[in-house]
Amino acid sequence: MAGIDTSQLKIVLQQDYLREILAGKRKSALDLIMDAYRSGYPIPAIYMEVFQEVLYEVGRLWENNQITVADEHMGTAITQYVMSNLYQHLEIADRQRGRLVMTGVQGELHQVGANMVADVLEADGWDVQFLGTNVPVDGVIQSIRQHKADLFGISSTMLFNLPKVIELVLAVRREFGGGLRIMLGGGAFRTLPELPDELKDCVVALNLRDALERTRH
Ligand code: B12
């Protein structure tokens, strides 16, 4: 992207992408992102600088009644569609960092952030199983065992799901002990003033960059 003002490019891309998804233009939203990717915009940056920021803006517009819940659903659905198209272009690193199971807690319906983290850590050399969200505790434990995970990631956006996070962490600790690393992330942890005692041995990552940083050691 030599010669291009990347901060300007980012703002234009965010504005264009927001406009297309709220107009329900799936094909042009995809074309915009694929063009950006082909001109050198790295996928993790597209995830965080475009999808994340635009979905946060969608959340603000929704909260302020400037768009409907249907608009929000459509924008999110289009973003998930575009992400799955981008996924096939992710370059997977040769190095092997370990095995990761990633999920959202029971009751949690937000799953785009967890999906992004799963994709980007896979590209960074993790062997990833992404369970989606709203998964019962027993099923999660079974997946961790079958996948022989070294790292377990939990996503929670809503603060009211914190008791479910604690329940899951305690169940996983009972089953696998302290050897399994647990990483927490999502909106709930950004607003939390202090981590509850039950979660003190978990790592918290506030965004994609943070997640990469914390899983490289
Ligand atoms: C899309 C959306 C929905 C969709 C989700 C669909 C789906 N398939 O995911 C649906 C319609 C289901 C939904 C429902 C609700 N939502 Co909603 N939603 C959103 C919206 C617009 C976007 C969410 C998103 O994808 N963000 C983009 C991702 C990339 O960001 P992220 O999740 O923060 O993830 C990043 C980091 O947090 C981190 N991360 C995330 N998970 C993890 C995990 C690990 C291990 C790590 C390391 C890192 C990590 O990495 C990601 C990349 O950097 C947000 C707006 C917002 N500010 O996020 C509102 C928002 C989160 N929702 C909100 C609300 C209120 C609700 C509902 C209560 C609405 C209702 N009355 O029913 C329900 C609750 C449902 C539930 N039980 O979970 C509020 C929450 C306010 C609050 N803090 O309390 C928000 C902020 C909107 C708003 N401004 O009011 N929502």
Q: Where are the domains of the chain?
A: 6-87, 98-214
Does the pLDDT at position 2 exceed 70? no
pLDDT digit string, tens, across residues 101-134? 999 999 999 999 999 999 999 999 999 999 999 9
pLDDT of residue 4: 55
* Architecture field, domain 98-214: 3-Layer(aba) Sandwich (3.40)
Label residues 165-175 b or e (16+ Cβ within 10 Å = b): beebbeebbee
Q: What is the mean pLDDT of residues 173-199?
A: 95
pLDDT digit string, tens, across residues 169-182? 999 999 999 999 99
* Structural contact between residues 91 and 123, judged by C-beta atoms closer than 8 angstroms: yes
* Architecture field, domain 6-87: Orthogonal Bundle (1.10)
The residues that bridge with 155 in the sheet, in sequence order, are: 104, 185
The mean of the pLDDT values for the chain is 95
CA of 64 from ligand 1 middle (Å) equals 16
pLDDT of residue 5: 67
pTM of the prediction?
0.96
CA of 165 from ligand 1 middle (Å) equals 16
The best mutation among 74, 157, 195, 210 to test binding of ligand 1, ranked by most ligand atoms within 8 Å of the C-beta, falls on 157
pLDDT of residue 136: 96
Does the pLDDT at position 18 exceed 90? yes
Does the pLDDT at position 6 exceed 80? no
The best mutation among 56, 74, 103, 110 to test binding of ligand 1, ranked by most ligand atoms within 8 Å of the C-beta, falls on 110
- Spell out the SS3 assignment of 155-173: ECCCHHHHHHHHHHHHHHH
DSSP state string for 11-80: HHHHHHHHHHHHTT-HHHHHHHHHHHHHTT--HHHIIIIIIIHHHHHHHHHHHTTSS-HHHHHHHHHHHH
**Can you tell me the distance from the alpha carbon of 81 to that of 75, in angstroms, rounded to the nearest whole number?**
10
